[in-house]
Amino acid sequence: MNRTGIVQDAIFMEHVMDPGHPESPERLKVIYEMLEDEEKKSLQLIKVTPRPATQEELETTHSPAHIDRIASTAGKPHFRLDLDTSTSARSFEAASLAAGGLCELIRAVWVGEMKNGFALVRPPGHHAERDRAMGFCLFNNVAIGAHYAINNFSLERVLIVDWDVHHGNGTQNSFYSDPRVLYFSTHRYGFFYPGSGGATEVGNGKGEGFTINVPLASGSGDPEYGNIFERILKPIALEYRPQLILVSAGFDIHYDDPLGGMEVTEKGFARLTQILMEIAEVTAQGKLVLTLEGGYDIEGEKRSVNAVLRELAQASPLDKKDLMKKEKASDQRIARLTLQLSEIQRRYWKSL
């Protein structure tokens, strides 16, 4: 049975920033080539055609001034928005289709056309703020997607898990006082971009307790990530009972990534996907939708995306026994962090 959808379109390779920029079209080119090979083999994926996000959908997350600013770059060969973020002639079109494509995939999963999916799009989104493009991001795809699901399907609880090495400041701020979205982020912290995401940032007002930040030291790998997903994320998520799970899937935690400094392997990504699928199966009828964020080692990212897709499609599920042993062995190493997180989050979550 075909159970996994993907958003794939050549337009996403038309967004080009400065020469030599790590967030390059090449990132998707190798993933799309890998998909062609896999198609000839066993992996049967359902292609979802992207559509542009509507003005109304963009305005759930961004100010009209920001949308106008990005739209005004259309047709211009190069326009600088931020120190490390710029556009080319078709960037606005790509960014609109990235956000709209994710909405379309969420719709397809929500109505049961498929079980889960992965939007293989760029530009990424999780740094984009209400009124500002930053960190290679123009529109905040995952935030727009969550709003889309809440507005169109009357959802009350959406979980966003963000495993990109960078903190998703834009996503956090989109829902900081909103309990309809539980934002859970693991990220490198301490003299690292963008600087936000401390453990004590927990949301405010009605949203207090619905932001969970897990600041990690560089060098964290499969055991640490698996441990945190099992010991912190899983109990909280099962208590929250999300109706839909969205993932900001950044592959800059891969061990070969030039920017990340983390040690996650392809098996590690499969393991994290497996844990999310388990949670989704219990609370959300398996409804799990990922969207691509960062990831700058082209080959490592390609193999990791492959591992995630194989897990989603249950083409060759990972045998997790070895990894679970390593996770147990890492208990000591991250004991201080899990204790600190439990102390902060226990006020909001009985299960900790």
**Residues annotated as catalytic (active site), given as ranges:** 127
Look up residue 285 and give its two tokens.
Answer: 């009828």
Please tell me the chain's helix, strand, coil percentages from 3-state DSSP, rounded to the nearest 5. Answer: 40, 15, 40
* 233 or 253: CB nearest Zn ion: 253
Cis preceding-peptide flag for 77 (omega within 30 of 0): no
222 part of the interface to Zn ion, by CB under 5 A: no
DSSP line for 317-340: ----HHHHHHHHHTTTTTHHHHHH
* 23 is an interface residue for Zn ion by CB under 5 A: no
CB 312 within 8 A of CB 41: no
| Cα within 13 Å of Cα(64), Cβ side | 1
Cα–Cα dist 137/82, whole Å: 10
First to last CA, the chain: 37
Choice between 165 and 312, CB closer to Zn ion: 165
* Site stretch for Zn ion (CB under 5 A), options 4-12, 246-254, 326-334, 336-344: 246-254
Site string for Zn ion, 265-304 (x = CB under 5 A): -----------------------------x----------
170 scored as a contact of Zn ion (CB under 5 A): no
Stretch that binds Zn ion, among 143-151, 164-172, 274-282, 299-307 (CB under 5 A): 164-172
Shortest CB 164 distance to Zn ion, Å: 4
Q: Which is nearer to Zn ion, 201 or 252 (CB)?
A: 252
Q: Which stretch binds Zn ion (CB under 5 A): 4-12, 112-120, 159-167, 335-343?
A: 159-167
125 makes contact with Zn ion (CB under 5 A)? no
Residue 41, classified by CB atoms within 10 Å of its CB into exposed (0-12), middle (13-18) or buried (19+), is exposed
Q: Which of 5, 250, 286, 300 binds Zn ion (CB under 5 A)?
A: 250
For position 310 contacting Zn ion by CB under 5 A, the verdict is no
Angle at 119 between CA 118 and CA 124, to 5 degrees: 125
Q: Which of 27, 147, 157, 166 binds Zn ion (CB under 5 A)?
A: 166
Question: Using CB under 5 A as the criterion, which residues of the chain lie in contact with Zn ion when the complex forms?
Answer: 164, 166, 250, 252, 294
